[in-house]
Amino acid sequence: MSLLAPAAHSAFVAAGRVIRSGRTLTICRGEVYGIAERTERRLVALIQATMMAVTRMSPSG
């Protein structure tokens, strides 16, 4: 996560999306915007993550 600006806003909007989805790995990206006035928004944080799909093991092993 990269914090880009102070989050001193009255409201926030976050959006995330999948950049690439494979068989086992998925690359995701998210952005958080601070809303200052009615339409003015400022990017305050970014995140990029790689997620791995794993299969759940049965309780019996």
Q: Is residue 28 a contact partner of residue 19, using CB atoms and an 8 Å limit?
A: yes
> Measured between alpha carbons, how far is 15 from 26 in angstroms, rounded to an integer?
17
- Over residues 16-53, the pLDDT tens digits come to 999 999 999 999 999 999 998 777 889 999 999 999 99
Q: Where are the domains of the chain?
A: 2-47
pLDDT on residue 36: 81
At 61, is the pLDDT very low, low, confident or very high (cuts 50, 70, 90)? low
Q: Is the pTM of this model over 0.95?
A: no
